[in-house]
Amino acid sequence: MTDIPIAIDHQYNGLTEAAASFVFKGDTGHVLIESGPLTTLETLKAGLVDHGIDPTSIQAVFLTHIHLDHAGAAGWFAEHGADIYVHPSGVRHLVDPSRVNESARRIYGSQLAEIFGEMLPCPESKVHAVAHSETISVDGLEFTAIETPGHAKHHHAWSTMICGRHCCFTGDVAGMRIPGTSWVTLPLAPPEFDPEIWRQSIDRLEAFDLDAIYLTHFGIVENPRAHLKTLRSQIDWETEVVTGIIDDPRLNDEEQQTAYLEALHARATANGISKADCDAYLSAGMVDMNLGGVRRYLNLLRKTPDDVGSGSNTASPTK
């Protein structure tokens, strides 16, 4: 059983409550959930100091997956002595992030430094693969890995007991929320978005009958069942809507982006989201990423197994 963790707001992309790390006090040091991207490392370090925590006292970092906004700064903590715990498929990319960084540079070009920064490498001895259902004990704290693909194949949620409550840090598999609301948004990132597999991960989370969910994007969900029900509905809706947009031969790429953004904003405002929050948190960049994720999923779905080939690209740089 542990005390309630502290949420450190990354102020990601200049937005309040867009992304967080969570820090636990252990017996002699501290444990971090998510490192965030390199671009917010100084904000994270300053937030730790504001709570009387020396950033170099972090003994372990638990990553939900290796996308840049969750793991980009893990190397800094590893270089300062922290052990990094991650899905087995993420280990090699943390040790040698060249493939992740190359992919990110190809997608973002000169904007990469401003949005995420490049992933810092971790010393091999500091990176530890964790299997599904494996429990890791660090400094008097215990975290159990729950394999939860759908957003990414290399995704773990991490469960633990907090003040007698069964809680889970869900990374991106439980979606994201616009601050001050219960409305769920989704990162349908290529190349591994798969709605069927994602629904199975929701089933897995529901089976734990969790008392609370901690979202990286952002905050604590006190009614996990209602949240996961909304999440499931949003996956169904977005997959159907985006598929229809992609399959419409009348729409070019720019028109697809406009159609999806309009549909997303209309659904958000119908659920009480302000125009200002739609503009800030449902951006064109998110729309472009989600179109790419669904397009990749459809391409794989509609090909024969021989055409699809084998293996997955766990080097996807974002979300």
The tens place of each residue's pLDDT in the chain, 319 residues long, gives 457 899 999 999 899 999 999 999 988 889 999 999 999 999 999 999 999 999 999 999 999 999 999 999 999 999 999 999 999 999 999 999 999 999 888 888 888 998 999 999 999 999 999 999 999 999 999 999 999 999 999 999 999 999 999 999 999 999 999 999 999 999 999 889 999 999 999 999 999 999 999 999 999 999 999 999 999 999 999 999 999 999 999 999 999 999 999 999 999 999 999 999 999 999 888 899 999 999 999 999 998 554 444 344 444 566 6
Q: Quick check: 234 and 184 in contact, CB under 8 A?
A: yes
What token pair was written down for 293? 């994720």
CATH 3.60.15.10 is right for the domain spanning 6-223:
yes
Long-range pairs for 260-264: beta carbons < 8 A, 24 or more residues apart: 260/287, 260/290, 260/291, 261/287, 264/238
Question: What residues does each domain of the chain span?
Answer: 6-223, 233-305
Q: How are beta strands 141-147 and 156-162 bridged, if at all?
A: antiparallel
Q: Sign (positive/negative) of CA torsion 265, 274, 37, 130?
A: negative
Burial label for 27, CB within 10 Å (0-12, 13-18, 19+), is: exposed
